[in-house]
Structure 1
Amino acid sequence: MSTTEKAKGFASEFKQFIARGNVMDMAVGVIIGGAFKSIADSLVSDIINPILGIFTGGSSDLSSLSFSLPGGGNLMLGNFINAVLNFLIMALVVFCIVKTLNTFHDKLAKKQEEEPEEPPEPSNEEKLLTEIRDLLKEK
């Protein structure tokens, strides 16, 4: 197999991969997740930080909480706490979304199980063959 054939094969596989619905759903999820991250960042920095800042010495911003280290560095504890809070908020939202989708999926699957499929009505050929069979049984 030549290099151009491999490239064409790779390109066609990639095209099939992109055309699947799951990839598009994932792309939409990533975009919405990125947009929601800015909401979570704002919640932490604009609402939670000032409240927690009251308990850390009256500072209005928790991200400014830091400790000087011997040797000249700063331990930026506030920034770390912000990152942890952002992660927990995003994890909670993703958990709620997945839990809701799983509940919906389970209800849909249960509904499909409860409604058994009725057998399809026999075709005209099957009806005629059944009549012929019944007539032969009578003889």
Structure 2
Amino acid sequence: MAGAGSGSVQKSEEEWRAILSPEQFRIIRQKGTELRGTGEYDKFFADGVYNCAGCGTPLYKSGTKFDSGCGWPAFFEGLPGTINRSPDPDGRRTEITCAACGGHLGHVFKGEGFKTPTDERHCVNSVSIKFVPADSSASSL
């Protein structure tokens, strides 16, 4: 089970359970994965910012989102300093987490040949992020 993140937002397990839905808690705090193709943001491409669903930290601009066909939202880069990377215990994947709260976002993959500036795919659970439209004052960076 994941503990509190090493960033600025730290809460007890009970506090996280109180603010997250059971599915959000399973994915964000217990490093779960939503089923492929079921997330609300997989085929969603409006202009705005994607924030951490756990703590509200802005993580991705909509301009970095692309359709990878993988069944989860895909981004080619996060906002500077907002996403931590660590090797998964299986040694094959790299987990990405919110730098502020330690919440599990998904995994990052390199060298898959997508025509993006970074040749990376941040494969993110829709449950782990919350979209804020560009015309909302909460999305200004």
- The structure with the larger Rg is 1
What's the TM-score, normalizing by structure 1?
A: 0.19
What's the TM-score, normalizing by structure 2?
A: 0.19
Answer 1 or 2: higher relative contact order, Cα 8 Å, separation at least 6: 2
**Higher-helix-fraction structure:** 1
